[in-house]
Structure 1
């Protein structure tokens, strides 16, 4: 297979690069010899280094491309390929960390590095919280180079037993270890957090009864004049499967025909697909819009932040008990999966960063699979009985 031409990966938005439909593909970097970003259909993006050894090309994984910036990946690639400098040609430079650096020494610099536009403010707050509450008290005095997978496993089990923040704590520690690798404190690919599941899979999804959806829609019609913004927002949530923050923060110039393109959502850039009823709601609001926001706050320059009070009244009017606004997103996903739509497509509709986030709905696909199997077996049975005309038109 012919190797693709290298490109300068600094000129593209890595998070928005299309994933392959199946398997994997490589994007070769023109800025560092042998460096490539591996894209997998599952959503995973990682840095790999291709080296020629004994006439064969060997591939080495450097780490997660979502956590290791391009410049760090290029340095890692150069470190692996370049020969050790001789005393006469070496350029003296002060290393950022000593070889005996402890987790308490490295973690503050890692968080400060990520805070500079790489992470959302809410993410930074959560990472600092788990660092102070769970990572530094237990592991802060450990040398970064000494932390082993069994140490992380014991620590993670202990945190999981007493806190719901175990996932964030593990992700934060894992990110710091990748940062340590890029600064030479650990060997590339030696992250001791690797293999521990950061996201516990569980059966997700709540397929609302058709009667409940009709009750909700009728309640929205009755309360439209009293709560126009909240009712329109709820309708759009039900029709698109979008997150509440994505709908409430929507801007008119992000809407183009059947889609709304968001630069910054929970999992990065993503597209919200708008069906005909959703576009009709937006067209009606556009006719009376006075500014750049679809849902402007009445007493401030920003968007509406919450619809909780209106939602309580809508639930009461519809008689639907303790249903949450976020359950509308689960209903959208559940309806899609239970009607046979591929999990990868559902993940794209929901704006999931990787397939693992969508797999929680996989249990809902069994009904669609059973129906498909029954239909296929019926076609085969008709063909075996010589009823080919019926099989073709079944």
Structure 2
């Protein structure tokens, strides 16, 4: 008997206990496993013609190199591998944890048990429909779909799937929350009240530079060049979330993630920047430095010499939650419209734009990737400047007798 080559396939009948033919089955050898046994793929159907058609399609995938090798993984098991690969690639801990949470809460409950190789576009639609019925927001649906697309894109690169079945699915449309900023008068009112707080300078610097919260809290005294009146953004202090140890509980409930203050590199390459400071900002920082020296003397040996500009009263990093509570208290006391701390960044951009600072300078000061992004985000703030762009030749040339000279 001549041995059949890999990929030729075998066709056989499927019978019940009584010997009655109930269908057909075909198998194809695609290689060998590490233990030396054959690695086979199977197709089945009710009729011989149906199975032969599936067999031809399977053989075509083998010959074109498009045969997937998912090792029988479910979507849930594959996502776990993907998260681990993101960690190894150096993706920020909070980003990886966001992927984990999205998978655990929204993807796995709907399609987690589906075999990766059998996942179809309709399964993805089923996931989105299930989230919609559960009352989840369009923004959340869009993000869950985005995470799934990224994960499946990697599966294609790993040659586990021939194509990304989620690519053809369109995310639901949603209206982004309108940007909220303070007027110059509201900024003045807020800063006036904040002077009572020991971290008044952090609020002042946020509004004068547009620095992100993590960049402000990660700033160290060595990052400030007093002589040239500028600072360099080198660090980003974040409350990173990591996967908690298995079996850990708090108040009788399982803990899924742990929180830890971590000093990271800035968000993007553009975020690593040097910012020129005004004389008023330099004065605020010097006042803050003198206040911190007094706190250091008071703390004595308990002081932690880590060099943070906006440290705690013991010199340790300031927890973003503590800063958030202080900020909310000052906002209420000042009687200004409540906006997020991150909106101080937008307010700073608004103040710069209204002072007619060129878009490129605004973009560099904020640490945006490019000026085009700045123009897109703050397009509505440039309305006044667009109106000024409508001019007549008479505005440029002296007129004599009704015509330009």
- For Structure 1 versus Structure 2, the TM-score category normalised by the shorter chain is 0.5 to 0.7
| RMSD over aligned Cα atoms | 3.9
How many pairs does the alignment contain? Answer: 287
Corresponding residue SS for 2:273: strand
Q: What corresponds to 1:183 in structure 2?
A: 158
Name which of 373, 380, 388 aligns with 2:390.
373
- Per the TM alignment, residue 133 of structure 1 is displaced from its structure 2 partner at its CA by 1.2
Q: Could you give the per-residue CA deviations for residues 156-190 of structure 1, whole angstroms, max 9, x where no partner exists?
A: 465365145334423321221222122112358x5
| Cα pair distance change 1:196/1:371, threshold 3 Å | farther
Secondary structure, aligned partner of 2:390: helix
Give the match for residue 232 of structure 2.
260
What's the offset of the Cα at 1:328? 1.6
1:24-63 to structure 2, matched below 5 A, reads none
Note the alpha carbon deviations across 1:46-69, whole angstroms, 9 max, x for none: xxxxxxxxxxxxxxxxxxxxxxxx
Report the alpha carbon displacement of residue 110 of structure 1 after superposing the two structures with TM.
0.6
State yes or no: 1:331 paired with 2:303: no
Alpha-carbon distance in 1 for matches of 2:360, 2:166:
29
1:259 aligned counterpart, secondary structure: strand
The answer on 1:280 being equivalent to 2:295 is no
5+ residue gaps, structure 2:
1-66, 236-264, 297-304
Higher Rg of the two aligned structures: 2
| Structure 1 residues 283 and 377, CA gap change in structure 2 (3 angstroms) | farther
- Measure, in 2, the Cα distance between the counterparts of 1:294 and 1:332: 20
Give me the TM-score of the superposition, normalised by structure 1.
0.59
Spell out structure 1 runs of 4+ moving beyond 6 A: none
- What's 2:313 paired with? 298
Taking a change above 3 Å as real, the CA distance of residues 339 and 207 of structure 1, as seen in their structure-2 partners, is: farther
Structure 2 counterpart of 1:219: 193
User: What whole-Å deviation, never above 9, does each CA across 1:235-279 have from its counterpart, x for those lacking one?
Assistant: 011111122222122122334552322252345653262421333
Q: Find the residue that maps to 2:150 and give its secondary structure.
A: helix
Scaled by the length of structure 2, the TM-score of the pair is 0.58
User: 1:77-156 maps to which residues of 2 (within 5 A)?
Assistant: 98=70, 101-116=73-88, 118-145=90-117, 147=119, 152=124, 155-156=127-128
Contact conserved, 1:248 with 1:303, CA < 8 A, in 2?
A: yes
User: Any unmatched runs of 5+ in structure 1?
Assistant: 1-94, 389-394
